[in-house]
Amino acid sequence: MKFFVSILLFLFLIGIRVSNGHCSDIRLQSLGNCRLAIDDPDNQLNLYDWEGNPAYLVYDERVDWLRFYGGGNYYHTSLARTYDPHKEQNLTFNFEGLKQLKSNQTIRGGIGYNFNRKYQQAYAIERDPYYDDPLILTDTTSGNIFEDGPGIFVVYSYQPFQKVSFGIESAYQISTSLKKQYTRARTIHRNFETKVALVYHLSPGFFLGTSLKGSFLQDQIELRESWDEKSIYTIQYQSELVFRNKFGEFDRYINLDGLEYNLNLQYYSHDQKLQHLLSFRYIRNKQRAKDKIGSNQRKDSDWIQNGFELQYDFRLFINEFLIGLETKFSRTADWSEHPTLPILITERTRRRLEIGAGISRQVSTFLLVTEAGFSRAREDYNDYQSEIFRSGKHDFYYGKFGIEYQVDPVHIVRCGYSHDYFYPDYYSPRYLPEHNSDYLSLGFAQKQSKFEIDLHLDYRVKTTPDVQTRYDRWNVILYTQIFMN
């Protein structure tokens, strides 16, 4: 026990950078990121674990707990798009807790802090230059960007009637980033999300869930002349090839308002050997951008996105086997408008079909799991301002494998492997070129009646077919859970 804990603390304290994934994913990550056919307390095919419906939390969780997870990841790459950093490090610490207030009320909350370091970030000033919108703010230099900030969330689920439960979830994140050289841009990022939800227990095994989420994001970019009195020169892209040069200091405000509506139907057979989950999701995003120069304001292009998604998931338990299936279809359309004239600058339509299947088998102290899937996305893109018109598809294939071995009643060892292949039949600056990806994972766990300690390690490498460029990432997570009941 002491030796095991010492190893965990040593690996944690040497400063390897942490994953931003949720702590409940740690077992799945150690099993090659398999999820379709893994029966896990945090990976149940239900409205909360798979769809994030807060009203179902009162059904999903029956044990009080406290969790801590943290660690880090680091990557360096030559397989990068124009505005990608060539190295990146992340470090995060998170605390979470869950408490049953009464038999019909459950609350869950958490707080965390994230440190992000991007090295040799080429030209980009924005926090996420490859978001779906066409607006990009750049300068002429490659520099390092350091970003730090906390986040907090709370989920409350209440069942006032036997067949009805309500839920609400809110999250807030704020961070500040600074480009460490000219133009020394400072960005203040604020993101607030809130979701209200309802679950109706139709009959034994049948649950109908619905939720509505609103999100409000703002990035405020401050460009100020510093002590060296260098004039500030920036380039603002409205589309791929059309840009506006700007000189002097100013503030740029990017506001994104999002709306997401979910409707879900969940069914479990009487013996829970057969499980279905059907989901419909609608999204709408609107982004507004403006520049403030002194007391004057100048509006940039509005960007609007609409879309929907249909998803069906299935699980079947047959003796020691578990079979899982997932199918998904989505369609999104987005466009940007001229800031003063009633004309379109860009418009795009994307359709994506995804199919995946997995199977696992429990053999004595061994769990074996494998999974495979395919997706195809078709995109039609019209950039009227740059006179770029492209249409095509990109395919994504994956295969995964995982093994879990129960060494003794307390200790568990896990390992996994996955291989991905991405192939686009057209060029777009928003996508990486054709490449392969290999993922290796290893996990160690110590589970007792009142606590659990997990250590996860993984390594991912991506290479182009000619092996001229590659991406290497290392990741470690330390996870602890204490059961309070």
Give the model confidence (pLDDT) of 362-379 as tens digits.
Answer: 999 999 999 999 999 999
H helix or E strand, kind and range, residue 50: none
- 226 pLDDT band, cuts 50/70/90, is confident
Structure tokens at 280: 């419909």
Amino acid at 224: R
* pLDDT greater than 50 at residue 5: no
SS3 57: helix
The count of C-alpha atoms lying within 13 angstroms of the C-alpha of 322, restricted to the half-sphere facing its C-beta, is 24
Measure the CA–CA gap between 274 and 267, rounded to whole angstroms: 8
Tell me which DSSP letter residue 434 carries: S
Domains belonging to the chain, first-starting first, are: 2-108+157-162+198-212+262-483 (2.40.160)
pLDDT tens digits, 120-172: 998 999 999 999 999 999 999 999 999 999 999 999 999 999 999 999 999 99
Residue 257, pLDDT > 80, answer: yes
User: Residue 7: pLDDT above 50?
Assistant: no
Residues above pLDDT 70, as percent of the chain? 95
**Does 228 score more than 80 pLDDT?**
no
- In 338-387, DSSP assigns E strands to 344-363, 366-383
Residue 14: what pLDDT? 34
To the nearest whole number, what is the mean pLDDT of the chain? 92
pLDDT tens for 274-331 read 999 999 999 999 999 999 998 899 999 999 999 999 999 999 999 999 999 999 999 9
DSSP state of 427: -
Query: On the CB side of 262, how many CA atoms lie within 13 Å of its CA?
Result: 27
Q: Which residues contact 173 (CB under 8 A, 6 or more apart)?
A: 149, 150, 151, 152, 189, 190, 191
Detail the DSSP E strand segments found in 224-273: 233-237, 243-247, 250-268
Q: What is the tens place of the pLDDT at every residue in 427-441?
A: 999 999 999 999 999
pLDDT band at 24 (very low <50, low <70, confident <90, very high): low
What local confidence, expressed as pLDDT, does residue 198 receive? Answer: 98
Confidence of residue 23 (pLDDT cuts 50, 70, 90): low
Confidence at residue 419, expressed as pLDDT on a 0 to 100 scale: 98
The two tokens of residue 365 are 């102290």
| pLDDT, mean of residues 389-417 | 97
Question: How far is Cα 411 from Cα 360, in angstroms, rounded to an integer?
Answer: 21
Quick one: average pLDDT of 224-244? 88
Q: Sorting pLDDT into bands at 50, 70 and 90, what band is 13?
A: very low
- Asked if residue 266 lies in contact with residue 206, where contact means CB atoms within 8 angstroms, the answer is yes
- Percent pLDDT > 90 in the chain is 88
CA distances from 332 to 305, 306, 313, 393, 426 (A): 7, 6, 21, 14, 19
Torsion angle, alpha carbons of 297, 303, 304, 305, to 10: -140
The Cα–Cα gap between 7 and 283 comes to 45
> Do 459 and 476 form a contact (C-beta atoms < 8 A)?
no
> Which region among 15-24, 68-77, 210-219 has the lowest average model confidence (pLDDT)?
15-24
| Residues in the chain, total | 485
Confidence class of residue 51 from pLDDT cuts 50, 70 and 90?
very high
pLDDT for the residue 197: 98
CB 417 within 8 A of CB 440: yes
Cα gap 368→360, rounded to integer Å: 5
